[in-house]
Amino acid sequence: MTMPSPHSHQQRRQLYRRKQQAIRSRPPAPKLLQRRLFLIWGIFVVGLLALAVRVFYLQIIDYDKLGAIAQSQHQITLRPYIPRRTIVDREGNILALDRISHTLYAHPVGFRLPQELVDNLPEAIAPTDLPKAVAHYLAPILGDVSPADLETTLRRQKSGILLRASLDATKVSAIRQLRIDGLELVERYGRFYPQGDATAEITGYVQKDDHLGRAGIELAQESLIQREPISLSLRRNGNGAILPGNLQAEAMKYDDWELELSLDLPLQKAARQALQKQMAAYKAKRGVVIVMDAQSGELLSLVTEPNYDPNNYAQVQPENYGVFKNWAVTDLYEPGSTFKPINVALALDAGVITPNTSVNDPGSIQVGPHRMKNYNGAGNGVIDVAGILRVSSNVGMIQLMQNLSRDDYYDRLQSLRLTKPTGIDLPGEVTGTLKSREKFTASPVEAAVNSFGQGLTVTPIKLVQLHGAIANGGTLVEPHLVRGLFNSQGEPQTVTPKAEIPNSAQQLAATTTASENPQIFSPAVARTVLDMMETVVDDGSGEKSKIAGYRIGGKTGTAQKARNGQYIPGAYITSFVSIFPIDNPRYVVFAAADEPTEPNSFGGTVAAPVVHDVLQALIVREKIPPTGPTVVPEDSTETSP
């Protein structure tokens, strides 16, 4: 067998290469070349068209969207915190303001004491027991917690323990001087009430987390107190840092307006002190004092007890949440004998009685199936209208009001707007109750009990409004606290109220017309009733409100409380309402104590002394001169309430 020569194999490979080179070097056919050129050109044109479409889409169709994205990458919008407006009383005393406060957090996992504190630890505390060591130094600064209780709190978790929501500057400074790692002071704006509990029932409070009003003026006048928010648009660089120089100086400016109230702070404090004194003496459940200017409706004082500190509202226990409402406007009660002057005015205005009308009071009277009597069951013989008020005769009042037909009496009660709100600029006002016309006129019983102030209900502020009509000549004025917004020069300002905020001062002002201040009885009738009420203080159950040298009118009330349609044995609201001064009537002063439990608890013994003290403070505050002798004669005697 013959083997192939290696030279012949090599020759075949060389021959193959020469053939391939010849093929590659052969010029292409003209048609093939043309197709290739068209293909390349087509690809190029399609690419240009796609690019053009994309540019058109980006520049025209998607311009706004892409511009917004680019803008957002280079701009940031901030909404800085804007402080709420300050609330002041009629003399500019601050009742509520925003200020920087400090919240204290503890992070036990990071506790570390400086060496000087370690060296000064008592022997009973090991330096390694950090929660106990921190509690030892921190508790005396906080002041309202023991080291043991604070230590328990610090052992609760490793981090994020809220110790205090708000600390004053003195405590903040003392905590910083400790230089303890793991204690964190967070600075933030907070609402502060410098008067503490002196005005809480009026101002209410602002909740710390959302900084919105939750009670009182803070809630009802949110649209006046909350300034308009500010939005800042700032540019930033590629790293996200805000570029300097693009924030104008006036961008963070806001108005200097304050919300001024008609409240007289010193009078408010005096009224609270007088009320607390009598509540403690007679062990009353709660109490209220109201001072209103009967000509304008301005409230100079509105006190409710018990009360709370709005700076520490979170410390109020659930069973005491009732303190957050102002029961002078939110709770109804039967006014009792304090309603008798109103009924007398209605009868006088109807012309069915005169000041000289007399009735015989044997001590009790039969009305339908019921025998009704005076509070003590005793008779008073033949007495005139002033005498009926002076001795607070239920039997006498029943006979006076029987001169009115039941329908006419009902119409006149309705004219008092008992079932309509007074319009006071506080939240939560409820309206009084009056039996239906059908029930009222069906039997003589309802008219009889209404004649001495039972069977119907009002709020304390409504009763004050009604007596204001006696003081001012027969007109119902709107009780209110808000005087308005004023700038630092004392110039009044206005804002557009938000419809969703209840009881806005502007809303009330916009809807107040002459028709909403109705004349419920004539000036002559009002004057006549005033003179009768003066005898109650001079010679009747209101003697404990008497002040030498001053003419005072008033009416006591001791009304039995009802629940679920039944009167509660032994449960009474004692009250006294006063109009002052009689010769130039301007102020209505009302005081009530709910469920006093001590013996001899009546309107004349419990509430009248409160009004006496408030009137004395009012005389000083308003510089009211006496109109008679200021020394009580030695032979003067007191009438039992």
**Greatest C-alpha distance within the chain:** 170
Pairing of strands 566-580, 587-594: antiparallel
Backbone angles phi, psi at 360, to 5 degrees: -95, 125
Dihedral class, residue 549 (left if φ above 0, else alpha if ψ from -120 to 50, else beta):
left
Residues 468, 475: Cα–Cα separation, whole Å: 8
Q: Cα–Cα distances in Å, from 635 out to 90, 632, 638? A: 42, 9, 10
Q: Which of 147, 149, 135, 194 is nearest to 168 (CA)?
A: 194
Residues 429, 420: Cα–Cα separation, whole Å: 10
Helices (H), 405-563: 406-415, 437-442, 444-451, 460-472, 505-511, 523-539
Q: List the catalytic residue out of 101, 223, 301, 337.
A: 337
Chain CA centroid to CA 233, Å: 34
Hey, what amino acid is at 613? D
Q: Cα–Cα distances in Å, from 133 out to 122, 140, 217, 255, 556? A: 9, 12, 44, 48, 61
DSSP reduced 3-state for 118: helix
Burial of 301 per CB tally in 10 Å (0-12, 13-18, 19+): buried
Token output for 90? 């009629």
Active site (annotated) includes residue 337: yes
Tell me which residues are annotated as active site.
337
